[in-house]
Amino acid sequence: MTQANSPVKVNSKEVAQELLDQYDTFLFDCDGVLWLGSHLLPHINETLEMLQSHGKKLYFVTNNSTKSRTAYTKKFASFGISVTEDQIFTSGYASALYVRDTLKLTPGKDKVWIFGEAGISEELKLMGIESLGCNDPRLDEPFDISSSPFLKDGLDPDVKCVIAGLDTKINYHRLAVTLQYLQQPDVKFVATNIDSTYPNKGRILPGAGSMIECVAFSAGRKPAACGKPNPNMLNAIVTAKKIDRSKCCMVGDRLNTDMRFGIEGKLGGTLLVLTGIETEEKALDSTGDHPLPKYYADKLGDLYELSK
Amino acid sequence: MTQANSPVKVNSKEVAQELLDQYDTFLFDCDGVLWLGSHLLPHINETLEMLQSHGKKLYFVTNNSTKSRTAYTKKFASFGISVTEDQIFTSGYASALYVRDTLKLTPGKDKVWIFGEAGISEELKLMGIESLGCNDPRLDEPFDISSSPFLKDGLDPDVKCVIAGLDTKINYHRLAVTLQYLQQPDVKFVATNIDSTYPNKGRILPGAGSMIECVAFSAGRKPAACGKPNPNMLNAIVTAKKIDRSKCCMVGDRLNTDMRFGIEGKLGGTLLVLTGIETEEKALDSTGDHPLPKYYADKLGDLYELSK
């Protein structure tokens, strides 16, 4: 046994086996763990197949809100990985659950204004909740305060909540109308997730958190954040899938979201992989303000390579 | 005399006269004080003419960085107000001064990446400093990490500073490239101003501060802010115009920028007008975290109307 707070590197068959033996359920972050953008990382399929052949249950927990769970199954399929919708939890889905179950919006009556992408609106639609904004092409037009179709007849009084997330179609029109709704004190404010950046093709790009910060600052409000590391997301998964937390391991590439999610959620294990945003130095740095994982590995595929 | 910290309302001929007698120089914020967007407020021309006829010196100090000082003189002229360029100080100009005089960038060699509008690039150009980004139409194209002309051949190593300000052409392409420059530790980070919002046609719209917050959060950095209430801007004006601070009054519509600018800059007077962002209730609220003005008025034109 190693001492507490000293992460163990998965770099031998013995450590890999020790890790596999302890857990019957694995929760995976996707981007930075399984793939980087459209590039699959090495030996991912083999690792997931090995885990399934050992009877492990696999769930995929992503803060990417741009795609719905249905769209995500297609992304997995494009990499030759067979995953069903009920194995996937996105921050867009978590936000929709929060709006329905915690904020108690009434389907068929109350509406949501979305600053974000289709991964949010599609999940709301499945729950019967109508949304406005999002990828509406009229928002692609330059903003004119007098003629914007979202303002000229006033705000929609049925909008009871704003959900904000990553929106690569961010523009002034979307920001300005979102702010008008957030200025209504009775309109709730929900954020998909707070990641400031995400990795893509060797670069670090602006994430949901940075855009949400923009609308939050202009409105002088703080949102309820639904994605990792918020415990509501883990509670929903644990309840829906009847997971024994002590036998569950969270696998991710971020200390402040994925590892925090697993540790504060009192999961038995956490595994940090270094294929995404973090470095080995940071993974071992006990002086930072981030929690340390139980295990770390250069890449997820090492579990397969070391177990062969 | 009224007690300290209790703002006096300019609502009689006597108070108006008392105010006029004390100061020989007036600094005016523009938007929310002289006009709202393209709508001139009542009796502005008459008030400015009256002040000039009494020998007062007038300067215009705006956190609007979208227009250069030259462009601002045209805006004044469109309202029938005759103002010369050397009476105008914008936050874009203040940022350019900061880059040249404090950061000591070398004109003709060092470059600036701009997330913002032409009011910044035009001021830099007058100083012989080349800028990139800004309103370059190639940034209007959708962002593609592999083909962006600003990334595919690498970043420009001559860029030594990022200036960020209000950009109504904000999009993911601009945000993503700005972040790449901010990830370079030796590239300085300057913000035109920190106003979270600004008023326009009865609505509150997202301001420079909210957009700067977006890039600052993704980069994990804090900028040096140049506009009001930063004392550097006031110091530059006081020095250039040889102003006696005790005989100078700042007129504005915001407690946290304009009034703070005047009070922390130890000007003799401050006058808050209620035609912009603040309410009478807030102007009198001594429990808030904002400084209180010496005087306040429903509108600037009251100085003229009460003095007739």
The complex's ipTM works out to 0.90
Given a cut of 50, whether residue A2 has pLDDT beyond it is no
For residues B116 and B167, the answer to whether their CB atoms sit within 8 Å is yes
Give the tens place of pLDDT for each residue, B256-281: 899 999 999 999 999 999 998 899 99
Q: What is the mean pLDDT of residues B49-75?
A: 96
d(Cα B202, Cα A243) in Å, to the nearest integer?
Answer: 52
Q: Which residues of A touch B203 (CB under 8 A)?
A: 145, 151, 176, 180
Q: Which of B166, B167, B210, B277 to mutate to test the interface with A (most CBs of A within 10 A)?
A: B210
Chain A residues closer than 8 Å to B211 by CB: 214
Chain B positions touching A151 (Cβ under 8 A) are 203
Other beta carbons within 10 Å of B268: 17
Residue A111, min C-alpha distance to chain B (Å):
22
The reply to whether B8-63+229-307 and B93-225 are identical in fold is yes
* Average pLDDT of chain B, as a whole number: 95
Q: Which two tokens stand for residue B46?
A: 């008459």
- In contact, A112 and A162? CB cutoff 8 Å: yes
Give how far B217 is from chain A: nearest CA, Å: 5
> Domain B8-63+229-307 maps to which CATH number in 3.30.70.2190, 3.40.50.10240, 3.40.50.1000, 2.160.20.10?
3.40.50.1000
- What is the predicted pLDDT for the residue at A236? 85
Q: Residue A195: closest CA among chain B residues belongs to which residue?
A: B218
Contact between chains at B210 and A151 (C-beta distance less than 8 A): no
Return the percentage of chain A with pLDDT > 90, whole number: 89
pLDDT digits (tens, 9 = 90+) for A22-74: 999 999 999 999 998 889 999 999 999 999 999 999 999 999 999 999 999 99
Phi, psi of A254 (to 5 degrees): -125, 130
Q: Please report, rounded to a whole number, the percentage of residues in chain B having pLDDT higher than 70.
A: 98
How many residue pairs bridge chain A and chain B with CB atoms within 8 Å of each other? 88
| Residue B246 clears pLDDT 50, i.e. is over it | yes
CA distance A287 to chain B (A): 18
Rg of chain A (C-alpha set): 20
Nearest CB partner across the interface for B180, out of A169, A203, A215: A203
Q: What is the model's pLDDT at position A199?
A: 82
Write down the domain spans for chain A: 8-63+229-307, 93-225
Please report the pLDDT score of residue B155 as a whole number.
97
User: Is A209 in Cβ contact with B203 (below 8 Å)?
Assistant: no
Say whether B218 and A210 touch across the interface (CB within 8 A).
Answer: yes
A117 vs B47: CA distance, rounded Å: 50
- Computed over every residue of chain A, the mean pLDDT equals 95
Active site (annotated) includes residue A31:
yes
| Pick from A102-116, A272-286, B105-119: least confident | A272-286
The residue annotated as part of the active site, out of A31, A167, A195, A258, is A31
Neighbours of A62 (CB within 10 A): 29
Q: How many residues can be counted in chain B? A: 308
CA distance B209 to B195: 5
Partner-chain contact B210 A175, CB within 8 Å? yes
* B253 has binding-site annotation: yes
In terms of DSSP bridges, do strands B295-297 and B8-9 run parallel, antiparallel, or are they unpaired?
parallel
pLDDT value, residue B5: 67
Using the predicted structure, report yes or no on whether residue B295 has a pLDDT greater than 60.
yes
Say what the pLDDT of residue A3 is: 40
Chain A positions contacting chain B at CB under 8 Å are 143, 145-146, 151, 168-172, 175-176, 179-180, 183, 196-197, 200-201, 203-207, 209-211, 213-215, 217-218, 220
What are the residues whose beta carbons fall under 8 Å from the beta carbon of B225, sequence distance 6 or more? Answer: B190, B191, B192, B193, B194
A chain contacts of residue B197, beta-carbon cutoff 8 Å: 179, 218
Residue type, B3: Q
Banded model confidence at residue A1, pLDDT cuts 50, 70, 90: very low
Instruction: Tell me the HSE value of A192 on the side-chain side, using a 13 A CA sphere.
Output: 35
Query: Which tokens belong to A303?
Result: 């579990």
For residues B233-237, give the mean pLDDT. 90
* A237: amino acid identity, one letter: I
When pLDDT is cut at 50, 70 and 90, the band that residue B200 belongs to is confident
Total H helices, total E strands in chain A = 11, 16
Residue B240's pLDDT band, with cuts at 50, 70 and 90, is confident
> Alpha-carbon distance A184 to A158, whole Å?
12
Out of 3.30.200.20, 3.40.50.10470, 3.40.50.1000, 2.60.40.10, the CATH code matching A93-225 is: 3.40.50.1000
What percentage of residues in chain A have a pLDDT greater than 70? 98
CB contact under 8 A, A214 and B211: yes
Asked whether the predicted pLDDT for residue B4 surpasses 60, the reply is no
Chain segment A84-97, per-residue pLDDT in tens: 999 999 999 999 99
Query: What pLDDT score was predicted for residue B29?
Result: 96
Candidates B145, B218, B255: best to mutate against A (most CBs of A within 10 A) is B218
Helix A172-182 and helix A208-219: axis angle, to 10°?
A: 50
Give the model's pLDDT for residue B38.
86
pLDDT of B3 strictly over 50: no
| Chain A partners within 8 Å of B218 (Cβ) | 196-197, 206-207, 209-210
Residue predicted with more confidence, A166 or A290: A166
Query: Does the bond joining A229 to the residue before it have cis omega, within 30 degrees of 0?
Result: yes
Q: Read off the pLDDT band of A238 (50, 70, 90).
A: very high
Where does the pLDDT of residue A4 fall: very low under 50, low under 70, confident under 90, or very high at 90 and above?
Answer: low
Tokens 């890999």: give the residue: A16
Contacts of B266 (CB under 8 A, 6+ apart): B245
Residues in chain A: 308
Residues A132/A156, Cβ–Cβ less than 8 Å: yes
Chain A nearest-CA residue for B183:
A204
Contact A35, A198 (CB under 8 A): no
Q: Take residue B97 and report the two structure tokens written for it.
A: 């001064």
- Statement: residue B76 has pLDDT above 90: yes
B175 and A170 within 8 Å at the Cβ level: the answer is: yes
Q: Looking at residues B63-76, what average pLDDT do you find?
A: 95
